Amino acid sequence: MAEHTNTNAIESLLWLDGLIKHLWLLHREGDPPHGPQGGLGAYISELVAESLEEELYAMRASSDVTSLRLVECTLGKVAPTLRGGRLLNSWTDLDTRHTFVTLELDADWETEGMSIVFSFKLSSLEHAKLPFTSIQVSNLALTGRALVTLELLPDFPFVGLLTFSFTEMPDLAFGVRPLQGIDLSSIPGLGAWVAHSAERSLAYYVHPSFYGYDLEALLCPECLLEREGRAAAAAAASGAA
């Protein structure tokens, strides 16, 4: 029995890992067929960009930095890889027959094609004559543990709402290089600022904070519309009765 249970757990983990990798690059309705990746990867890139913009807004108030802006933010084409996990809880909504499972998952993530580009100019006297500088953050390596709640549907596409949060701040490393302007070593503390900004951006997704994504709307938009239509019709019929 223990061996059978362990096999089921491994199969479930592989299924979920494969689902994440599929969703990461899945094109959403309206995306150009050969354009940037859509789906989960693009959505998380948008979330990271929003978090970084909040950090940049605070930095713009500093007297040492002017014209600070986020030029590009894409997390690339490689999804995180699940390397372990366990089921924490599950329950079923008897009205909808939807089952919700909460999992604790260990994941590694080494990005490919990630590019986060900042452009800025320093206003301090010692750097006042330096040109605008662009730096690129890439080659992210992240290891962490996450809490994931997944809604399981009785019909296609079989998955609905997904919520995600880190149990604690994950371990991360990345590379920083100049795209134009000056040698990074001439700006003491720049690397520390990038690391601090990355950590503060990740903090938005550490438990009890979380983000949610509607997988059903991504995988089968027409299914969601049909279900909403049936629910509206049932409500109307109930009201008429």
pLDDT of residue 119: 83
Phi, psi of 210 (to 5 degrees): -160, 170
Single-letter code of the amino acid located at 68: L
What are residue 107's DSSP bridge partners?
Answer: 82, 144
List pLDDT tens digits, range 79-93. Answer: 999 999 988 999 999
What's the pLDDT tens digit per position in 1-26?
Answer: 444 445 666 777 888 899 888 888 87
CA 118 – CA 194 distance, rounded (Å) = 10
Q: What pLDDT is stored for residue 199 in this prediction?
A: 84
Q: How much is the mean pLDDT over the chain?
A: 79
Residue 68, phi then psi, degrees to nearest 5: -85, 125
Per-residue pLDDT reduced to its tens digit, 112-165: 889 999 887 766 545 556 667 788 899 999 999 999 999 998 888 888 899 999
